Chain A
């Protein structure tokens, strides 16, 4: 079967159209969530994006890959592959989605998990530091090198880092006298030429319409909590998780900021 050029072009047009639809849907959902301050459940977002991808795949397979006119056995191979993928994904999701209902029955055997401390073995930072905290230690050293030793200009992401670090230090009740030298230096220059604009732009969010904290679509989601308050976590109880495991040993701390709202 020789697929006519006209049909190939039509399918290309359909694929382009669906690409724009999927991008438009994602933008629209965010715009609606922000504009009306409503919560769009995560599954809507996922279902829309993946259904469009599935439709596009059907067009590519049926016309571009010629399965429509091909030996049905080739289609059968793909059907079984997709089945395998669904089983693979499905059974793992059944397990993950039901852990909360299983935990209470065997709570005495389970210790609370998810401290957020994926730690490093050591090196330039103390052993036991989490990878995420290591990133901030490194960034502080880098900013120190650029700003104080080399008298250079900080790249954009380090400008934002320094500014956020000042807020974190203040939130931790540290006085300016206790700040590391690089932050003291940064406070002197942050209202000057390149930095002021960067910070002004950054204060309007990430410039792409959403951040983890500000996204209303994010609030409805239950999550397996981070339990290390130092990392912005909270005890693993709230948001519909029964999570009774391990709370006998470590009672929930009241008033901890919720994950994603810790700014």
Chain B
């Protein structure tokens, strides 16, 4: 009995092993590999629903762009592509640090794992700060707002409130995903510090990593759609 740890992540009490070495899969799985595969497939199914969530916005973009091209062209010219580019680079870097975090967990590099989680968190914060300080705040001040909140007088097409609806809707939903992701990285860091992740068990790092990559992919499409297509 003494060899069975008290909780899921073990205490490591018996042989003084870290928790990830003594991880025990849930009883209803044959083995840890099956459990990992099931969890990962669950994440992929969730990512599918995420893609479909954003596909509604992409369809809105396609339809409105076809109906009111002049509103979208002028609206797009009011965005500064340089901030969009900067934020794209920030997100790509964070995608790399997440992929590296998974690699560190798989190869048992505890220090590298924690470092990469912290780096990703910092890059996520940078993304949000750039977004709020250099993009959202000036636009809010000039009335470049969606629908009935629109009060920017220098429009060139009366359908520009629609464009700003798309801009705020799409980037807002994306930014809220970044916020959620950063919460997950705090959770990962706490668990990594307790030694929960190692070569034998890194399910959560992998799952959060996949989520973060899909957030990055959504931005890979939003950036050219909003800032570059003119």
Partner-B contacts on A (CB < 8 A): 2-5, 8-9, 11-12, 15-16, 19, 22-23, 26, 29-30, 42, 45-46, 49-50, 52-53, 56-57, 60-61, 63-66, 70-71, 73-74, 77-78, 80-82, 84-85, 88-89, 92-93, 96-97, 116-118, 120, 130-136, 138-140, 155, 157-158, 160-161, 164-165, 206, 208, 210-213, 215, 217-218, 221, 223-224, 226, 228, 231-233, 259-260
Q: Give the contacting residue for B228; candidates A2, A22, A57; CB below 8 A.
A: A22
User: Secondary structure of the A side of the interface?
Assistant: helix
Measured between alpha carbons, how far is A26 from B161 in the docked complex, in Å? 25
Task: Check B92–A131 contact: CB distance below 8 A.
Answer: no
Known: A12-B93, A212-B70. A92 touches B59 (CB 8 A): yes
Which one of B44, B47, B67 has the highest number of Cβ atoms from chain A below 10 Å of its Cβ?
B44
Interface size on B, as a range, is: 35 or more
* CB neighbors of A among B203-224 (8 A): 209-210, 213, 216-217, 220-221, 223-224
Neighbour of B151 across the interface among A42, A84, A135, A213, CB < 8 A: A135
Contact of B89 among A8, A16, A22, A78 (CB under 8 A): A16
Shortest 5 CB-CB distances between A and B: which pairs?
A: A139-B153, A132-B158, A49-B224, A212-B74, A26-B228
A154 to B22, CA, bound (A): 67
Q: Distance (Å) between the CB of A124 and the closest chain B CB?
A: 11
Which residue of A is nearest B88, CB measured?
Answer: A19
Chain B residues touching A, majority SS: helix
Stretch at the interface among B78-86, B117-125, B168-176, B177-185: B78-86
Residues of B with Cβ closer than 8 Å to A?
37, 40-41, 44-45, 47-48, 51-52, 55, 58-59, 62-63, 66-70, 73-74, 77-78, 80-81, 85, 88-89, 92-93, 95-96, 98-100, 102-103, 106-107, 141-143, 147-148, 150-161, 209-210, 213, 216-217, 220-221, 223-225, 228-230
Contact (Cβ within 8 A) A93 B66: yes
Among B59, B69, B151, B154, the residue within 8 A (CB) of A164 is: B154
In Å, the complex CA distance between A15 and B154 comes to 36
Contact A215 B230 (CB under 8 A): yes
Are B62 and A89 in contact (CB-based, < 8 A)?
yes
Question: Contacts of B70 on A, CB cut-off 8 Å?
Answer: 212, 218, 223, 259-260
A57-B217, A223-B69 known; A88-B59 Cβ under 8 A? yes
List of B residues within 8 angstroms of A53 by Cβ: 220-221, 223-224
Residue of B nearest to A84 (CB): B52
- Distance in angstroms between the alpha carbons of A30 and B73 in the assembled complex: 12
- Contact, CB under 8 Å: A133 / B142: no
Complex alpha-carbon distance, A184 and B210, angstroms = 59
Name A157's closest neighbour in chain B (CB-CB). Answer: B142
Provide the bound-state CA to CA distance between A131 and B95, in Å: 40
In the assembled complex, the Cα of A9 lies from the Cα of B103 at a distance in Å of 12
Nearest CB on B from A107, distance (A): 19
- The answer to whether B44 touches A74 (Cβ under 8 A) is yes
Q: Once bound together, how far apart are the Cα atoms of A66 and B80, in whole Å?
A: 34
Q: Which of B59, B81, B143, B230 contacts A217 (CB 8 A)?
A: B230
B59 near A210 with CB under 8 A, answer no
Q: Do A19 and B89 touch across chains, with their CB atoms under 8 A apart?
A: yes
Question: Could you tell me if B220 and A96 are in contact, using CB atoms closer than 8 angstroms?
Answer: no
Contact status A120-B148, CB under 8 Å: yes
* Pair B156/A77 contact, Cβ less than 8 Å: no
Interchain CB contact under 8 A, A23 and B52: no
- Give, as a whole number of angstroms, the nearest-CB distance from B139 to chain A: 10
Bound: A109/B74 CA distance, A: 34
Q: Which residue of B lies closest to A260 (CB)?
A: B70
Which of B55, B95, B160 is close to A85, meaning CB atoms less than 8 Å apart?
A: B55
Interface contact A60-B224, CB-CB below 8 Å: no
Q: By CB atoms of chain A within 10 A, which of B106, B160, B220, B230 has the most?
A: B230
Cβ contact within 8 Å between B152 and A134: no
Known: A12-B93, A42-B69, A57-B217. A136 touches B153 (CB 8 A): yes
